[in-house]
Amino acid sequence: MKYMSYWHDSATPFADAQDGPVTGRVDVAVIGGGFTGLNAARKLAREGVSVAVLEAQHIGAGGSGRNGGHLNNGMAHGYAEAKSHFGAERAHALYKAYDRSIDMIEEVIEEEGIDCDFRRSGKLKLASKPSHVAGMRASADLLNREVDPDASWIDKADLKGEIGSEAFHGAMLYGKSAMMHMGRYVQGLATAAHRHGALIWEDAPVTGRTRSGTGWELTTPKGTIRAERVIAATGAYSATYPKAPLSYFRRRIISVGSFIVATRPLTDAEIAATMPGNRTCVTSMNIGNYFRLSPDNRLIFGGRARFSAVSDQQSDAKSGAILRQSLNRIFPQLSDVDIDYCWGGLVGMTKDRFPRAGEADGMIYGMGYSGHGAQMSTLIGQSLADIAMGRPDSNPLAGLDWPRIPLHSGKPWFLPLVGVWFGLKDRLS
C-alpha cells in the first residue's frame, strides 16, 4: 500500500516552476498553487496582468490533489436550507454558481487541452436509512421544480442498475455532476498559467507580509516579491502558514481531515457487481462516505473517518482502517480486494459551511468550500482575478458576512466534540 495521493502518483509533476530566488515586482501575487490560485493566475496572465504564484510545497499539494475526485453540483447544504438562510433569490443564484463552475471547468479543459478524463457522470446522493427517504425525495422534487430540472429521485427498486449494494434505500440523482482526474487537471492548470506568462514558485511558503508603498512585500524562504494586489487561495491549509500573514483566515477556517483509500483496479465483473452506473456517489449520513471509480477502474472510497485536523501517515493509516470497514459494509463483495493507496487531506470548513470570497485584511480571498471545493474553486478563482482587475461583479459570494469563530486561532481543538455531535445525529436520524 502506498501512503500517498493516487492523484499525485498518477500525474506528471509540474515541470516549469521557477528555478531561482523569489524576487521582482508583479501586479498580483497569488498565495497557493491549487485550483483557486491557478485559475486566478491563468486568467490574469491571459489578460496581460503580471502575476506570480507562491506555493508552499508543490503544485496541487493541498486539497486540490487530495480529494475524492468529484465535481458535484449542488451545495454542502440542502437547497431548502440555503433558501432559509439566504432567501430564495440568493440561494437560487448560489446553486446555479456551482453548475456554472462545472461548465467552466469543462471550458478550461477544452481551451487548454488538458487531458484529465473529465466526464459528466451524474451524482447519486444515497439514502442510508429508510427514515431519510421522505425528506430526500421532497428535496429532489423541490430542486427539480425550482432550480435544477436535471435532479430526480430513484427508488430503491431501481438502484440495482446504478450500484451493487443493498445498503441504500433510494437516491437523489444530480444529472449535471461530473468527475475528472484531479492531479492531471491541477498540473494542466499550472502548465497553462505558465504558458500564458505566470511565474510559479514551489517550496515558497509566505512567511511575512508587509506594506510596501501602495502594495505589499511578501517574504518567503526563497526571497521576497512585491505586488500591488495579493490573492489568498490557501483554503484549509491557511493554518499551516505562519500566523501573521494569514491570521484573518486562520480564525475563520476550520481545517478538518478527510481520508481516502483506493483499491487495485477492478475487473469488468467486479465493476458490474459494484458500480454499474459509474457515477459519483455520496451517502446521506453526517459522518458518511463518498466514492467513485478512477480512470483505471479503482474504487476511490473516502469519508470523514475521524474528526482530526492531522493528515500524516500514522493518522491516514488509522483512518484507512476505518474506511476499509465501511467499504466492506457497503460492498461486501470487495472485502478481499487489495487497497493500493491510502491518503488524507484537509477540508476547509466555515462555521455555516458556506464558502466565502471577497476582500479583507488587504487581500482578495476565496476559500471555505466545505467539501465542495473541487467544483466551485474554478469559478471562484476566476472571480478573484476579476476582483484584482477591478471587476467585482462576477463574485457569487459577494457581501456575505464572515465573522471569526470564537476561541479559534487555527487549531480546531473542538473537532472531537463535533464528531460526537454528528455521530449522535446519525444515530437518531
pLDDT in tens, 209-244: 999 999 999 999 999 999 999 999 999 999 888 788
CB 39 within 8 A of CB 377: yes
Position 311 scores a pLDDT of: 66
Q: Which of 181, 94, 78 shows the shortest CA–CA distance to 383?
A: 94
Position 308 scores a pLDDT of: 64
C-alpha cell at 201: 514558485
Topology at the third CATH level for domain 6-117+179-419 = FAD/NAD(P)-binding domain (3.50.50)
Position 231 scores a pLDDT of: 98
Between the alpha carbon of residue 298 and those of residues 69, 262, 270, 304, 360, the distances in Å are: 12, 6, 10, 20, 42
Position 146 scores a pLDDT of: 96
Residues 268-292 have a mean pLDDT of 95
Position 422 scores a pLDDT of: 66
Beta-strand pair 356-360/280-283: unpaired
Residues 290-304 have a mean pLDDT of 95
Confidence of residue 257 (pLDDT cuts 50, 70, 90): confident
Q: Which residues, in sequence order, are CB contacts of 394 under 8 Å at separation 6+?
A: 382, 383, 386
Position 104 scores a pLDDT of: 97
Q: Which of 28, 46, 398, 344 shows the shortest CA–CA distance to 189?
A: 46
Q: What is the pLDDT of residues 152-183, one digit of tens each?
A: 999 999 999 999 999 999 999 999 999 999 99
Q: Which residues, in sequence order, are CB contacts of 323 under 8 Å at separation 6+?
A: 259, 260, 261, 289, 301, 302, 303, 305, 342
Q: Which of 37, 56, 53 shows the shortest CA–CA distance to 240?
A: 56
CB 133 within 8 A of CB 311: no
Q: What is the pLDDT of residues 111-121, one digit of tens each?
A: 999 999 999 99
Poorest-pLDDT segment among 230-234, 253-257, 389-393: 253-257
Tell me the C-alpha distance between 30 and 52, whole Å.
Answer: 6
Mean pLDDT, the chain, whole residue set: 93
Position 306 scores a pLDDT of: 61
Place of cell 459509474: 278
For residue 23, the Cα-to-chain-centroid distance in whole angstroms is 31
Tell me the C-alpha distance between 226 and 207, whole Å.
Answer: 14
Q: What is the pLDDT of residues 131-145, one digit of tens each?
A: 999 999 999 999 999
Confidence of residue 266 (pLDDT cuts 50, 70, 90): very high
Q: What is the pLDDT of residues 69-100, one digit of tens each?
A: 999 988 877 888 899 989 999 999 999 999 99
Poorest-pLDDT segment among 50-64, 199-213, 284-298, 310-324: 310-324
Between the alpha carbon of residue 193 and those of residues 200, 205, 263, 361, the distances in Å are: 9, 19, 33, 26
Position 168 scores a pLDDT of: 98
* pLDDT exceeds cutoff 80 at 15: yes
CB 97 within 8 A of CB 379: yes
Confidence of residue 371 (pLDDT cuts 50, 70, 90): confident
Residues 314-323 have a mean pLDDT of 84
Residue 415 CA neighbour count, 13 Å, CB half = 22
* pLDDT exceeds cutoff 60 at 305: no
Residue 256 CA neighbour count, 13 Å, CB half = 26
The total number of residues written for the chain in this structure = 429
Poorest-pLDDT segment among 11-20, 75-84, 121-130, 280-289: 75-84
Tell me the C-alpha distance between 291 and 331, whole Å.
Answer: 11
Ordered by start, the domain boundaries in the chain are: 6-117+179-419
Is 19 exposed, middle or buried, given 0-12, 13-18 or 19+ CB atoms closer than 10 A?
exposed
* Pairwise pLDDT comparison (256 vs 234), residue with the higher score: 234
Query: pTM for this one?
Result: 0.94
